[in-house]
Amino acid sequence: MSGSDEFEIDWDRTRRTGVAEAILCEPKTPAQIDAIVASAAGRRLLLTRLDEARHAALAATTRAALAYDPPSRTAVLGGPAPQVDVGADIGADMGADTGTAIGIVAAGTSDLPVAREAARTLAFHGYRAPIIADVGVAGLWRLTGRLPALRACRVLIAVAGMEGALFSVLAGLVEAPVIAVPSSVGYGVAAGGRTALRAALASCAPGLVVVNIDNGFGAAVAAIKMLRAMG
Amino acid sequence: MSGSDEFEIDWDRTRRTGVAEAILCEPKTPAQIDAIVASAAGRRLLLTRLDEARHAALAATTRAALAYDPPSRTAVLGGPAPQVDVGADIGADMGADTGTAIGIVAAGTSDLPVAREAARTLAFHGYRAPIIADVGVAGLWRLTGRLPALRACRVLIAVAGMEGALFSVLAGLVEAPVIAVPSSVGYGVAAGGRTALRAALASCAPGLVVVNIDNGFGAAVAAIKMLRAMG
Amino acid sequence: MSGSDEFEIDWDRTRRTGVAEAILCEPKTPAQIDAIVASAAGRRLLLTRLDEARHAALAATTRAALAYDPPSRTAVLGGPAPQVDVGADIGADMGADTGTAIGIVAAGTSDLPVAREAARTLAFHGYRAPIIADVGVAGLWRLTGRLPALRACRVLIAVAGMEGALFSVLAGLVEAPVIAVPSSVGYGVAAGGRTALRAALASCAPGLVVVNIDNGFGAAVAAIKMLRAMG
Amino acid sequence: MSGSDEFEIDWDRTRRTGVAEAILCEPKTPAQIDAIVASAAGRRLLLTRLDEARHAALAATTRAALAYDPPSRTAVLGGPAPQVDVGADIGADMGADTGTAIGIVAAGTSDLPVAREAARTLAFHGYRAPIIADVGVAGLWRLTGRLPALRACRVLIAVAGMEGALFSVLAGLVEAPVIAVPSSVGYGVAAGGRTALRAALASCAPGLVVVNIDNGFGAAVAAIKMLRAMG
Amino acid sequence: MSGSDEFEIDWDRTRRTGVAEAILCEPKTPAQIDAIVASAAGRRLLLTRLDEARHAALAATTRAALAYDPPSRTAVLGGPAPQVDVGADIGADMGADTGTAIGIVAAGTSDLPVAREAARTLAFHGYRAPIIADVGVAGLWRLTGRLPALRACRVLIAVAGMEGALFSVLAGLVEAPVIAVPSSVGYGVAAGGRTALRAALASCAPGLVVVNIDNGFGAAVAAIKMLRAMG
Amino acid sequence: MSGSDEFEIDWDRTRRTGVAEAILCEPKTPAQIDAIVASAAGRRLLLTRLDEARHAALAATTRAALAYDPPSRTAVLGGPAPQVDVGADIGADMGADTGTAIGIVAAGTSDLPVAREAARTLAFHGYRAPIIADVGVAGLWRLTGRLPALRACRVLIAVAGMEGALFSVLAGLVEAPVIAVPSSVGYGVAAGGRTALRAALASCAPGLVVVNIDNGFGAAVAAIKMLRAMG
Amino acid sequence: MSGSDEFEIDWDRTRRTGVAEAILCEPKTPAQIDAIVASAAGRRLLLTRLDEARHAALAATTRAALAYDPPSRTAVLGGPAPQVDVGADIGADMGADTGTAIGIVAAGTSDLPVAREAARTLAFHGYRAPIIADVGVAGLWRLTGRLPALRACRVLIAVAGMEGALFSVLAGLVEAPVIAVPSSVGYGVAAGGRTALRAALASCAPGLVVVNIDNGFGAAVAAIKMLRAMG
Amino acid sequence: MSGSDEFEIDWDRTRRTGVAEAILCEPKTPAQIDAIVASAAGRRLLLTRLDEARHAALAATTRAALAYDPPSRTAVLGGPAPQVDVGADIGADMGADTGTAIGIVAAGTSDLPVAREAARTLAFHGYRAPIIADVGVAGLWRLTGRLPALRACRVLIAVAGMEGALFSVLAGLVEAPVIAVPSSVGYGVAAGGRTALRAALASCAPGLVVVNIDNGFGAAVAAIKMLRAMG
């Protein structure tokens, strides 16, 4: 199975949808990924869900070409985009208030890999987005203490597993659209992220929108579409 | 099928478990309920999940003997117990602060029937428990504004449907044990109460305990057991 | 159970989140709805999931005060907002091209009630959004023939049941963010909308965001938040 | 447990149903597979779901007798059948147009193992079927650009995971019967292929028929039955 | 909501896919159905899942124009097609043997409504297909006694609920492709047809293809596509 | 659709399997049931799941011929069989001890309809089986007080809904085989009987065997097969 | 955690229920199993679900005391019981006909481990039961060719995965009670054995009884109870 | 990803909710756990779900600081609390009777890891709670023989997998509140603990409260809250 006949990268996607195609590595063989990277011919590419074992099995030339981030399982071919200054940072200790940033909120430290996937996807497209971690609702003050910074964001991405209560509480506190990313953090009835997903969809806070479990990449693309389309 | 041979009321349950047996009416025929009530012979009985149609189909003598409350679908034979003064009310506008009451919290007005089932079960056993309604987390101030009253309760029963985020937020704010009653309020992925149930079980707030969907009766019995056993 | 103690409308929500609170009527009794409407005191209210039977059971004064639309099961108290001209119509036969509208796309005629709920919610907040119906992907030309109009929208709401393939196809063709509303249209494995919901979440088209099944209201609120926050 | 008493190959199946029996290796021990192959006595056999670890554990004589293809996890005993020229290739760049081929369509490169299982099963029975890869609907032109070739096929097998939107779009574009093979490609709600399966079954495109998840073998047998029975 | 703007019949579908569009009535209002029928303008239409209550609510002129069959919930506008003599009947008491018919097999009398939907759909397109009823596998002789007739069919449609064992047994006995239609007949774990559906998909008899639960219409369309494409 | 061509009663089943065929009425039309009864021609028949509405819709002559029992939804054509004295009653107050009876145990009064379906099926085949009701495990003494009678039975049928704990407790106390019939009694997570079904299958008491939810008929047939086959 | 305080073997179970307690090894640590075996003190014990890795981790003295059978994952302490001659073998090539044996039927070779667990459990209790393998219904003659032998059995245990059609076909052909053991053989919708389980429960063949997935041990105990209780 | 910015321990939780925060290690990297432990600065910490592999991967200084218990997967930083003498032991062999202890009941030896997690959590907070093991209901005398000791407890924690019948039986026998912890012990339909969970929620014994599967930690926190709040 020679890799070269097996795929057709949608290089035109940026023009058509405003966002570049990314390569979902999880179900692909190392040989397929090598072939895809080789075909890029100078164009930039984002690779997602590339775990460390699969990364280690890539050809040395492929690995050398990629900027790989193990926690988020993402790799970038062609370097990050120049920073597009959507807005200042949320602040020094995430408390700045310029009102333009995309903010990423992670309920617990275990949600950080998914939050980083979102942040790396944003960076690939030229957006800098700080991550606010460990603001789960069982200690509500951790969240309410960040409200000025959170309210300054134009779009918020929230990552939470377990029961996903963060989504409803956050969406009830801010004007910005909130994109919920249920994470697969949890055990028992929370295992796999389905409880957090259902909680996000059933939220009593209207206007919350949801993406697939652990889909930090998709949330980032949605945030970009919101900012781009709104110009 | 003569009703009289078909059941054996566990009149001894109070002595053995501290709580009287109740009659779950939902799957019983009116004739069976009539027979059970006739067999009580002066003893008190609580009937649950007795909807209005089934209540209307009972014998006139049965209906006359029962104190029926349509919203909670409960009926009491033998009158409520004399008030046992576990503690003063949570207060005039539910804000009093004597620190002894069982409190019942309902996320929305649609959760009131289940909350009332809990309150009526408590009243049957001699406990007065106020209901604090419409404190869903999408408007967080409605909940945090009640914190002094809530923190004064020795046991809290919380009723919520949809995504059930109230359970986690509340349990993170108080010292008292919180009994979560998921309600079947909601549509789409929330239909039937399973999302709220899973959210309660997967909560990031430790120490939350859970009963079956819409089981206000069970939550009340659990609260009584906690108070009784602790003396 | 006097209605007046049972609810606490979050009148402050507009200021806090940019969108007014709406009343989900489905699980409420007519008496509760009457009391809520009576408490409005001149303020505007949107009521959702108010089916014809429940509407007919409201007090005559309540019914007289409401502008009710049976297909969408929505009612408005206080009249629609003056039209905010976000953009011209998508066009005469939905083909206009001014590039500013929110567009609503419905896969089949059976998806129209949900699409109308979204349109009525938008109108209540002052946004006019045309509905493009019957563009299911089994007849792909019905969708591709509308592409210029669809590409002119800043935000798209898509409603589809059954297998929900419309979501992926549409999101692959436009730059605007697409909000997927799975509908409960279908039978067998499609019954209840879960297949369309999962298809929307698992879409191969990145950036698609999703709300609960049949939740036209939530999709409209999300669209408003996107437009408002972006200014 | 001596292998020889444990199975009874249905050698008569070809005469009775028009298609030879195949050996599903997944739940069998290497010893059982060795025994089955040894019993073939010159007859041809197709082995499916024989992963590389199990293949490596077979007896050396068994391995020597088998033509093994790791990506599709299939092995053939007795060599491929002579080519039966059902029709010319779909064409040079898959665009030929002779109208007789079975065509296999794979939504993404990750669906290729299943597509290859179908192609190998067809080859075993004497049918040559080209695979058209990477035509997922998020880049619709990749599919519509192949329409002349696709419309020339008498039967189409389509393999797709994730949301499976390809099935509906393809079936709405061609006259030939389409056999949908949901693949287990995807994560979150798509994990395991159930979302693609339900999407295929709930499709708005009538006439689509479906086989089990990842069942490229079954799809190929169905295609053969269609061609054979129709003469 | 005037019906006329809400739908766009795909009159071109016959040319494009070989099978005419049908109207799925279940989720449509009577007014929508009236408008669709009025728009036909002399063209023929098949309506499916039109239950008796909805049929009775149609305009009198609509009802007069339709040939309605209550058990199958189908109606035809424009009369049945002239008989296309695909093959003689399966025989006097369904036992004839000319080898050309499409055969429909129903496991029990309760599966007849779905079988009739398939037969009516076939008749609409000009194919006559006899129904063989009550051949469930618990009395195997009822099925094996029909084998000559069944083996004479070029395509078989099988309808079964409960555990759906008929699908596997039948597909193991004949050369023709078998299209399985799981029916929603059954109770307990069989309720809703999901057990029969899964049994069809998991069948040990290779080559079986499956459509949605109760989808006699889809099975008929698939059978027509097989016959048409094969010429 | 004339009823007479649509079914083929398996009159031979008694000879082949030791138990007569029964007619599952639930999904059949009254006309189909009338035709089946008319075809009996003096032979005896058992009809199950014939609810009162469907019974009332049968032809007068059919109703006159049937001995109908509303609680169990069963009807018998041809009268009950003469009593076959498998063993004496379990006793006066269900406490006799001759060691030969089939015993039926029902956890609560709400399980009686299913228990009666089993008893009526046994009576149709000539077996008398007493029902012991209201022995749920929450009042363990109700069960242990009956142990001598229960231990005297050669086969036990147990009917329970909710959490189905009765099955495990009973099977751990007796030597006889226990057939568990999960009932659909319960609400919330118990709704529909699936929790009781899973509990029966997962029981820690070995040797418990299980039938479908509410399937009192099937349990009775299994009990008869055990007694008959064992002579 | 010293093993000795952690368990209390139910040595009395044989007297109470007619069948000895067995040790389910799967979730136990090797140290726990060593302690249990050491506590036996000359009594016989059956160990189930003892996989090869856990067996290898037991103490050498434990391993020396056990008669271990890897395919069935069972081990016997104290040797098999003397043969109790329930009946002759089903016959030379499994065709003997003395009418007394327990017969075990396995649909495919992959079902043999579960069938062997049943056979080993029976042997432990003194019953010899032959296994008839590879009689799946896709090749019906493999089953019908064995009918004389199968009809000679007093109790039948049937093991099948995938769609489990064997259960219904077999139960419709014999008088003996049939105990269905769904196996976890299969992939896609069959993965894990739930489809076979549901098929067994929903069977159209009355009198079939069912045990948990892969529970050959439980089926054997049920068969023994049937034979013992019936004397 | 430097650990130090990623988390914010809720050191204030003890004051606010009466119970200290614990660290759920399962989804955290060893580096994150090292950083959290390093940040404790003399404060005590409980770590849960720390499996042996992850424990082994911690920094040597971290491991030296922790008191680790492999079976329960818990570790304590800062040593156990001084014993708070809630009550004497349940007794010599767990049978003492002073009426003040928290008791932990485990249905089988396989449930001990979860029971130990509860006991270790209690010890961390200063409560000594004995574990009563192997009291599954299939041997009812093992449970009833402990009744005096069990009835002496003020709060009971019960751990059971499989069908979870222990919960209902125990709750029907004692006055104390019972906290059910479903364990993931079991296979087939019991796999993962969902059957035991549903059984606990659907219990016929009123007043039972439930926590997530395998959540011994949560049950212990709930028990502490009950004792603390009650004074």
Tokens at A113, concatenated: 């890999």
Q: Which positions in chain D touch G114 (Cβ < 8 Å)?
A: none
CA C196 from centroid of its chain's CA atoms: 17
Distances A88 to A98, A112, A129 between C-alpha atoms, Å? 6, 22, 9
D194 with D114, same domain?
yes
Residue D180, burial from CB neighbour count under 10 angstroms (0-12, 13-18, 19+) = buried
Tokens at G94, concatenated: 């499994």
Q: What is the pLDDT of residue F100?
A: 52
C32 with C137, same domain?
no
E107 with E207, same domain?
yes
Q: What is the pLDDT of residue H8?
A: 72
d(CA D120, CA C33): 64
E134 with E181, same domain?
yes
The residues with which E77 forms a beta bridge, in sequence order, are E45, E66
Tokens at E172, concatenated: 């193991």
User: Do B204 and A171 make contact, defined as CB atoms within 8 angstroms?
Assistant: no
Report yes or no: D145 at the C interface, CB cutoff 8 Å. Answer: no
CATH assignment of the domain containing H115: 3.40.50.1970
In a domain, B178, yes or no: yes
The pLDDT tens digits of the residues spanning H111-161 come to 999 999 999 999 999 888 999 988 989 888 889 999 998 998 999 999 999
- Cβ atoms of E211 and E178 within 8 Å: the answer is no
The pLDDT tens digits of the residues spanning E136-168 come to 898 888 899 999 989 989 999 999 999 999 999
Q: Is the pLDDT of residue G157 over 50?
A: yes
| Boundary (domain end) residue, out of F77, F109, F128 | F77
E155 with E51, same domain?
no
Report yes or no: G8 at the H interface, CB cutoff 8 Å. Answer: yes
Q: What angle do CA G103, G106, G112 make, to 5 degrees?
A: 110
- Cβ atoms of B55 and B63 within 8 Å: the answer is yes
Instruction: Report H helices in chain C.
Output: 13-17, 30-38, 52-56, 60-65, 112-124, 140-144, 147-151, 165-171, 194-201, 216-230
Q: Which residue has the higher pLDDT, A98 or G73?
A: G73
Q: Which residue has the higher pLDDT, A230 or A44?
A: A44
Q: What is the pLDDT of residue D98?
A: 37
User: Do C202 and D162 make contact, defined as CB atoms within 8 angstroms?
Assistant: yes
Distances A113 to A104, A175, C90, D184, H6 between C-alpha atoms, Å? 12, 26, 41, 24, 11
d(CA A184, CA H155): 33
3-class state of residue E190 by DSSP: helix
Measured on CA atoms in the order C37, C40, C42, C48, is the torsion positive or negative?
A: negative
From B65-74, D56-65, G33-42, H78-87, the region with the lowest mean pLDDT: H78-87
- The pLDDT mean for chain C works out to 86
Q: What is the pLDDT of residue E88?
A: 33
What letter would DSSP give residue E82?
Answer: P
G66-69 and G102-106 beta bridge pairing: unpaired
Q: How close G139 comes to chain H (CA, Å)?
A: 28
Report yes or no: H12 at the A interface, CB cutoff 8 Å. Answer: yes
Q: Is the pLDDT of residue B12 over 90?
A: no
H or E segment to which residue G160 belongs: strand G155-160
Q: Which positions in chain E touch C189 (Cβ < 8 Å)?
A: 194, 197, 212-213
CB atoms within 10 A of CB B96: 17
User: Do C165 and D189 make contact, defined as CB atoms within 8 angstroms?
Assistant: no
What letter would DSSP give residue H125?
Answer: T
3-class state of residue E38 by DSSP: helix
Lookup result for tokens 């070989």: E18
Q: Which positions in chain D touch A49 (Cβ < 8 Å)?
A: 187
Task: Kindly tell me whether chain E and chain B come into contact, counting contact as 3+ Cβ pairs under 8 Å.
Answer: no
Q: What is the pLDDT of residue A42?
A: 84
Crossing angle of helices B216-230 and B112-124, rounded to 10°: 40
Report yes or no: A158 at the C interface, CB cutoff 8 Å. Answer: no
Mean pLDDT for C140-165 is: 93
Q: Residue type for D83, please?
A: Q
Report yes or no: D190 at the C interface, CB cutoff 8 Å. Answer: yes
In a domain, D86, yes or no: no
Tokens at F220, concatenated: 């009775």
E46 with E100, same domain?
no
Closest to F183 (Cα-Cα) out of F168, F195, F198, F193: F193
Distances F206 to F198, F201, G221 between C-alpha atoms, Å? 14, 10, 6
In a domain, B17, yes or no: yes
Report which listed range, D81-85, D91-95, F206-210, is most confident. Answer: F206-210
Can you give the C-alpha Rg of chain H in angstroms?
Answer: 18
Q: Is the pLDDT of residue E97 over 50?
A: no
**Which ranges of chain F have pLDDT less than 70?**
1-6, 15-18, 80-100, 229-231
Q: Furthest-apart CA pair in chain H: how many Å?
A: 56
CB pairs under 8 A between F and G: 106
Buried b (16+ CB within 10 A) or exposed e, H114-139: bbbbbbbbbbbbebbbbbbbbbbbbb
Q: Is the pLDDT of residue C38 over 50?
A: yes
d(CA D19, CA B141): 69
Report yes or no: G12 at the H interface, CB cutoff 8 Å. Answer: yes
User: Do B142 and C197 make contact, defined as CB atoms within 8 angstroms?
Assistant: no
The residues with which H23 forms a beta bridge, in sequence order, are H47
Q: Which residue range(s) make up the domain with B38?
A: 13-77
H or E segment to which residue H216 belongs: helix H216-230
Q: Is the pLDDT of residue B180 over 50?
A: yes
Q: Which residue has the higher pLDDT, E128 or C213?
A: C213
CB pairs under 8 A between D and E: 108
C-contacting chains (≥3 CB pairs under 8 Å)? A, B, D, E
d(CA C21, CA C24): 10
Report yes or no: D10 at the G interface, CB cutoff 8 Å. Answer: yes
Q: Is the pLDDT of residue C99 over 70?
A: no
In a domain, E43, yes or no: yes
In a domain, C119, yes or no: yes
d(CA G98, CA H8): 75
**Which ranges of chain H have pLDDT less than 50?**
1-4, 83-99
- Cβ atoms of A184 and A193 within 8 Å: the answer is yes
Q: What is the pLDDT of residue H10?
A: 73
Q: Supply the DSSP string of G162-218, one letter for each residue.
A: TT-HHHHHHHTT-SS-EEEEE----SGGGGGGHHHHHHHHT-SSTT-EE--TT-HHH
Closest to G27 (Cα-Cα) out of H220, A188, H114: H114
CB pairs under 8 A between B and C: 54
User: Do D139 and A49 make contact, defined as CB atoms within 8 angstroms?
Assistant: no
Q: What angle do CA E30, E32, E33 make, to 5 degrees?
A: 65
- The pLDDT mean for chain B works out to 86
Tokens at D220, concatenated: 């190929």
The pLDDT tens digits of the residues spanning G103-136 come to 999 999 999 999 999 999 999 998 889 999 889 8
From A11-15, E123-127, F80-84, the region with the lowest mean pLDDT: F80-84
CA A202 from centroid of its chain's CA atoms: 22
d(CA H231, CA H227): 6
Query: Which residue among G10, G29, G212 places its CB closest to the CB of H189?
Result: G212
The pLDDT tens digits of the residues spanning B111-153 come to 999 999 999 999 999 888 999 988 989 888 889 999 998 998 9
| Boundary (domain end) residue, out of C48, C77, C106 | C77
- Cβ atoms of E142 and F8 within 8 Å: the answer is yes
Q: Residue type for D186, please?
A: G
CA closest to F201 among chain G residues:
G212
Report yes or no: C183 at the D interface, CB cutoff 8 Å. Answer: no
G100 with G189, same domain?
yes
| pTM for the structure as a whole | 0.93
Residues 52 through 111 of chain F touching chain G, CB cutoff 8 Å: none
Instruction: Report H helices in A66-151.
Output: 112-124, 140-144, 147-151
C173 with C72, same domain?
no
C139 with C183, same domain?
yes
Q: What is the pLDDT of residue D6?
A: 64
A64 with A124, same domain?
no
- The total domain count for chain F is 2
- Cβ atoms of B102 and B201 within 8 Å: the answer is no
d(CA G73, CA G54): 10
In a domain, D38, yes or no: yes
Tokens at G169, concatenated: 């076909």
Kindly indicate the confidence band of residue C8, based on its pLDDT and cuts at 50, 70 and 90.
Answer: confident
Report yes or no: G198 at the E interface, CB cutoff 8 Å. Answer: yes
In a domain, A106, yes or no: yes
SS (H, E, C) D28-97: CCHHHHHHHHHCCCCCCEEEECCCHHHHHCCCHHHHHHEEEECCCCEEEECCCCCCECCCCCCCCCCCCC
- Cβ atoms of B197 and F195 within 8 Å: the answer is no
Q: Is the pLDDT of residue B202 over 60?
A: yes
Report yes or no: D15 at the E interface, CB cutoff 8 Å. Answer: no
User: Do E172 and G139 make contact, defined as CB atoms within 8 angstroms?
Assistant: yes
C209 with C161, same domain?
yes
Contacts of D100 (CB under 8 A, 6+ apart): D86, D87, D88, D152, D154
H or E segment to which residue A48 belongs: strand A45-48
B64 with B102, same domain?
no
Tokens at F109, concatenated: 């009064």
Q: Supply the DSSP string of B98-135, one letter for each residue.
A: -S--EEEEESSGGGHHHHHHHHHHHHHTTB---EEE--
3-class state of residue D105 by DSSP: strand
Of the residues H111, H135, H137, H178, the best mutation for testing chain F's interface (the one with the most F CB atoms within 10 Å of its CB) is: H137
Lookup result for tokens 């046994």: F122
| Boundary (domain end) residue, out of E77, E105, E127 | E77
The pLDDT tens digits of the residues spanning H205-222 come to 988 999 999 999 999 999
Q: What is the pLDDT of residue G6?
A: 65
- Cβ atoms of E23 and E33 within 8 Å: the answer is yes
Q: What is the pLDDT of residue H90?
A: 44
Query: Which residue among E134, E185, E188 places its CB closest to the CB of F193?
Result: E188
Instruction: Report H helices in chain B.
Output: 13-17, 30-38, 52-56, 60-65, 112-124, 140-144, 147-151, 165-171, 194-201, 216-230
In a domain, E211, yes or no: yes
User: Do G134 and D5 make contact, defined as CB atoms within 8 angstroms?
Assistant: no
Lookup result for tokens 């108010």: C50
